Amino acid sequence: MEAAVAVADLDVKWQSVREQLRSELGEDVYSSWFTRMMPETFDGANLTVSVPTRFLRSWIQSHYREKLLSNWQKEIDNLTQVDILVRSCSTRQAAPKQDNLQIPQQAGEGEKQAFNDWTDKGHGLKSFGNNAPVSGQRNAGDFAGVRRNNVVDPRQSFETFVVGDSNALAFQAAKRVADGMPNEFGGYRPLFIYGGPGLGKTHLLNAVRQQVMFKYPERKMLYLTAEDFICQFVNALKNRDTLAFKEKLRATDLLLIDDLQFLQGEKVQEEFDHTFTNLVESGKQVVLAADQSPIQLSCLNDRMRSRLSGGLVIDICPNDFDLRVRILKAKVTEAQRVNPTLAVPSDVLQYIAENASRCARGLEGGLVSVLSRAQNGVITLDMARSALRNQVSIEENRIIRVHDIIKSVSDFYQVSKADLFSARRHRSIVRPRQIGMYLAKMLTSRSLPEIGRRFGGRDHTTVLHAVRKIDDLLKKDPILAEEVARLKREIELGDSMHR
């Protein structure tokens, strides 16, 4: 089997693949879906590439996965699969230079499964821990096609969660649920944890799942993302098997739902509402995670927002400096299990904490970039400065919402929100409206239909046309490109200079 390919070599091969995609699919399709894709790792059989949003990942998987695989197979022998992950708030992780920091060239099926599940969530120092999956007597989910439910990553446990002032309440509540008596589960129905990306919500859900699996193996437990819930419900509708779907969900003692902000669709929400109500009224436990509080989740109806607010709602605040340093220390300890010669001085950790992204995944990405420059296990401050020279100390885990973009576009172009939502076709309104839709796709994880609804109830095809139109104009009009770049920067920073 072909050895692991260095990131630099993957970049060269990616250039050829890009040209093939551009030639076969056309400039419009290529520009819409592939310009922000990056190759990440190749382990001898499986290639991992990344994109910045869930929407891009979902669209490419649904429409172009075979095309992507066939073009990559022209460049890499023995390639059997292309996995697409979401980069989230972390920066691209540089390929380690030392052999003992590399992804294994060959791995057993269990190890590949754990690696894929781990990187699919965008977490972790990819090769710096024990990748062996942990299996329980009962999996966290038995639904066909939900691969991530078949294993539990041992690194996402309560023992490995770094607790600070910003997340202590969420940690304690999750721990109480996991430690609760079988018929009580801590008494929070539901427990709702919310906060920005990379702050530990998924880690806590998996910690609950792992501890209950071992402490109460007889309990029926199900872990799903909102996306999994939607897919399984849609499949049940297509197969006319909704009764089995309902029975499996309502037979659980503990239901964990991650990324609830992506729960879209009237029928889907209605089924979730019925399931949630049935479980809570039956004394079962539900644990939910989202990027916003129940009241702020505009994707849900008023009834659901009210019901979800009826339990214990806890937010996880952004990591402060002290917690960021402690997270980095924990990750260094994990890395030292593989490479005991690693030595990372405190001033380097403090520099990373100040200059890398503030969320845990961003800190891990910054640390990986620094560790990749280790010389005989030694890291210096100059190495850290070199590794992070293209990063800035910005609160990257600030959640950007569509209404933030609408307000910024309205202020920037002096166009009222009413005009942006209207059917008016004057150029002075159409162009800012299209730019707003473009930025909403670039900067948020909202789907095209959701973005269309936010811009006056427009169809998803209108949004797609706007995205492609602006993307094309940015290549031809340097003045517009400068305007959009400035506006994008101000939105990301929460800046109000133009107001």
pLDDT, tens only, 212-261 = 887 888 888 899 988 888 888 888 888 888 888 888 898 999 999 998 98
Residue 371 placed within a domain: no
- Give the CATH number for residue 45: 3.30.300.180
CB distance 316 to 193 below 8 Å: yes
Tell me how crowded residue 200 is: count the other CB atoms within 10 A of its CB: 26
What tokens does 205 get?
């859900």
Which residue range forms the structural domain that includes residue 476?
402-493
More confident residue, 145 or 80: 80
175 and 310 co-located in one domain: yes
190 and 309 co-located in one domain: yes
Question: What is residue 191's predicted lDDT score, i.e. its pLDDT?
Answer: 92
Q: CA 180, CA 212: separation in Å to the nearest integer?
A: 9
Residue 151 placed within a domain: no
64 and 192 co-located in one domain: no
CA atoms within 13 A on the CB side of 386: 11
Question: What is residue 424's predicted lDDT score, i.e. its pLDDT?
Answer: 86
pLDDT, tens only, 14-72 = 888 988 888 888 776 777 678 778 888 888 888 888 887 676 787 788 788 889 999 99
78 and 216 co-located in one domain: no
Question: What is residue 391's predicted lDDT score, i.e. its pLDDT?
Answer: 59
Question: What is residue 236's predicted lDDT score, i.e. its pLDDT?
Answer: 87
- Give the CATH number for residue 475: 1.10.1750.10
What's the domain count of the chain? 3
Question: What is residue 373's predicted lDDT score, i.e. its pLDDT?
Answer: 79
Question: What is residue 152's predicted lDDT score, i.e. its pLDDT?
Answer: 61
Q: CA 360, CA 200: separation in Å to the nearest integer?
A: 8
In this model, does residue 94 exceed pLDDT 70?
no
Residue 482 placed within a domain: yes
How would you class 307 by CB atoms within 10 Å of its CB: exposed for 0-12, middle for 13-18, buried for 19 or more? middle
What tokens does 18 get?
């890009």
171 and 79 co-located in one domain: no
In this model, does residue 322 exceed pLDDT 80?
yes
194 and 80 co-located in one domain: no
311 and 174 co-located in one domain: yes
Full 3-state SS string of 19-33 = HHHHHHHCHHHHHHH
Percentage of the chain exceeding pLDDT 90: 12
In this model, does residue 432 exceed pLDDT 90?
yes
Residue 142 placed within a domain: no
76 and 208 co-located in one domain: no
Nearest CA among 325, 288, 318 for reference residue 305: 288
CA distances 95 to 11, 57, 164, 278, Å, are 12, 22, 30, 48
In this model, does residue 307 exceed pLDDT 60?
yes
Residue 2 placed within a domain: no
In this model, does residue 149 exceed pLDDT 50?
no
Residue 380 placed within a domain: no
Residue 162 placed within a domain: no
305 and 179 co-located in one domain: yes
Q: CA 409, CA 403: separation in Å to the nearest integer?
A: 10
Of the candidates 52, 87, 122, which is a domain's last residue? 87
Beta bridge partners of 434: none
In this model, does residue 398 exceed pLDDT 50?
yes
Question: What is residue 498's predicted lDDT score, i.e. its pLDDT?
Answer: 39
Residue 488 placed within a domain: yes
Average pLDDT, the chain: 77
* DSSP β-ladder status, 46-51 and 38-42: antiparallel
CB distance 468 to 420 below 8 Å: no
The one-letter amino acid at 413: Y
Of the candidates 52, 72, 87, which is a domain's last residue? 87
Of the candidates 301, 316, 331, which is a domain's last residue? 316
In this model, does residue 354 exceed pLDDT 90?
no
- Give the CATH number for residue 255: 3.40.50.300
Record the pTM. 0.53
Q: CA 331, CA 131: separation in Å to the nearest integer?
A: 15
